[in-house]
Amino acid sequence: GLIEAPYWIQTVMGYQTSSWATPENVLNLVREFPDGAMWLCSGIGPHQLPMTTLAIILGGHVRVGLEDNIYYRRGELVKSNAQLVERTVRLAHELGREVATPAQARAMLGLSPTPTTY
């Protein structure tokens, strides 16, 4: 085929033109992924925390940041991307998941071991 393993699949839930951000929809998508595929789930706006939690529980990877969500909780603006990342790390640890270092994440994605300067 045109794409070779390992496969990376990203799902974005809760956007106007994406799937509704429900556990059932995420489970239905994950069941269709090829064996051995690595995947992540992100949620837009108020769906970010529930979709992040679900992905961590299901063994997926996550993506968080101000690009997708400007609120920490209802009515409270996020101070920085770091605030969202710190919450996600705490959540992952509480749920028994380890968090990749930047170097580990770059290796998983097949990227250069050092960031490229633009």
Angstrom distance (rounded) from CA 53 to CA 36: 21
Domain of residue 32: give its range: 8-108
What's the average model confidence in pLDDT over 86-113? 93
CATH code: domain of residue 33:
3.20.20.70
Q: Which pLDDT belongs to residue 118?
A: 58
Residues of the chain above pLDDT 70, percent: 98
pLDDT digits (tens, 9 = 90+) for 28-77: 999 999 999 999 999 999 999 999 999 999 999 999 999 999 999 999 99
Q: Look at residue 43 and tell me if it is in a domain.
A: yes
Q: Look at residue 36 and tell me if it is in a domain.
A: yes
**Model confidence at 17: pLDDT above 90:** no
| Residue 117 pLDDT grade (very low, low, confident, very high; cuts 50, 70, 90) | low
pTM given for the model? 0.89
Q: Look at residue 117 and tell me if it is in a domain.
A: no
Q: Give me the number of domains the chain comprises.
A: 1
- Written as one string, the DSSP assignment of 39-104 is EEEEE-GGGHHHHHHHHHHHT-EE--STTT--EEETTEE-S-HHHHHHHHHHHHHHTT-----HHH
Q: Look at residue 59 and tell me if it is in a domain.
A: yes
Q: Look at residue 113 and tell me if it is in a domain.
A: no
Q: Look at residue 17 and tell me if it is in a domain.
A: yes
